[in-house]
Amino acid sequence: MSTSHRGFLGSVATWECDENGHLNVRFFVAKATQGLASFAAAIGIPPGHRLEECDHHMRFLREARPAAPLAVDVRVIGLPADDAATMQVLLEIVSPESGEVHAALLARVLPVDAGGAVQRWTRSQLDAAGTHVDVLPEHAAPRGITEDPVSTLPELAEAERAGLIEISRGCIGSGDCDAAGRMEACHFIGRVADGIVNMLARLHGPEGLEARMEGRIGGAVVEYRLRYHRRPRSGDLITVRTGVRAITGRTHRLVHWLFDARSGECLCSSEAVAVTLDLQTRRAVELPEAQRRRMEAFVIAEPGG
């Protein structure tokens, strides 16, 4: 196989865009997952089996707006050291004509069977993965978020004591899940995206929310890290809790934790670097001072450390 495998070719649909007028983060991940599925087939993962993401590190570089053509190119960054380890792949979401990169998603993946049980790599699969590179391109490398592993996972009660605010709550539907009935990766980040306006209502106050609803001010994520600890199933209830880690210049750093609303178990831990976006100029701007002060009141220590 060549160094890069084109795993997806499509475009941005209007219904995939959010109130900012650009492709929502859940659909960046959904398209990347489609590219990963094509790559899996190319290296000999059996039908009904799949490569499942253990985590993602994402850099969002350019907006993708309605009708934009998109492709996903997959490159192997690191082959497993043994047949039980993860493979690291880079999924670049690009303009198929110009080659410009809209987003770069780095993922650790494992082969799983139709029921979600982890499988071992075969020698033929590793050989088929082909040429790999050892160094990430600069545009895909971590910038504002470290890749240190999460050492302790909090439970929901601990997040509540730490002061994280609830921004999203709901039930997992069958349409959110793969063939094994386990939630697809895109819906973890999607549930966070669904709650962002609720977050802004608390963090930016009525004036900030009004500017958002009137289409004057929006937002964009520039970097994201997610670690998937357990995939919920259809019928499970989840809640998303959010806190502010830091505000620096035009960027603010947020943590989002997804919990099983019944058991309190942590399903996914994530952090993001985001900017406020002027929707007329499509450029990042600094928060108004009043909104910054309000947001600073929500800065907390991350539960679990």
Look at residue 157 in the predicted model and tell me its pLDDT: 92
HSE-up of residue 63 (Cα within 13 Å, Cβ side): 18
Pair 87, 121: CB distance under 8 Å: yes
Look at residue 12 in the predicted model and tell me its pLDDT: 98
CA-to-CA distance for 127 and 294, rounded, in angstroms? 54
Look at residue 294 in the predicted model and tell me its pLDDT: 80
Q: Which residues pair with 103 in a beta bridge?
A: 60, 93
Q: Which residues contact 72 (CB under 8 A, 6 or more apart)?
A: 6, 7, 8, 9, 31, 32, 34, 35, 91, 92, 93, 94
Look at residue 305 in the predicted model and tell me its pLDDT: 46
Report the chain (305 residues): mean pLDDT per 10 consecutive residues: 83 94 96 97 95 96 96 92 85 96 96 92 89 80 75 82 91 93 96 91 76 75 94 97 86 92 95 86 81 79 55
Q: Angle at Cα 232 formed by Cα 231 and Cα 233, nearest 5°?
A: 120
Which domains can be identified in the chain, with CATH numbers? 1-141 (3.10.129.10), 143-305 (3.10.129.10)
Look at residue 152 in the predicted model and tell me its pLDDT: 65
H or E segment and range at residue 237? strand 237-248
Look at residue 301 in the predicted model and tell me its pLDDT: 65
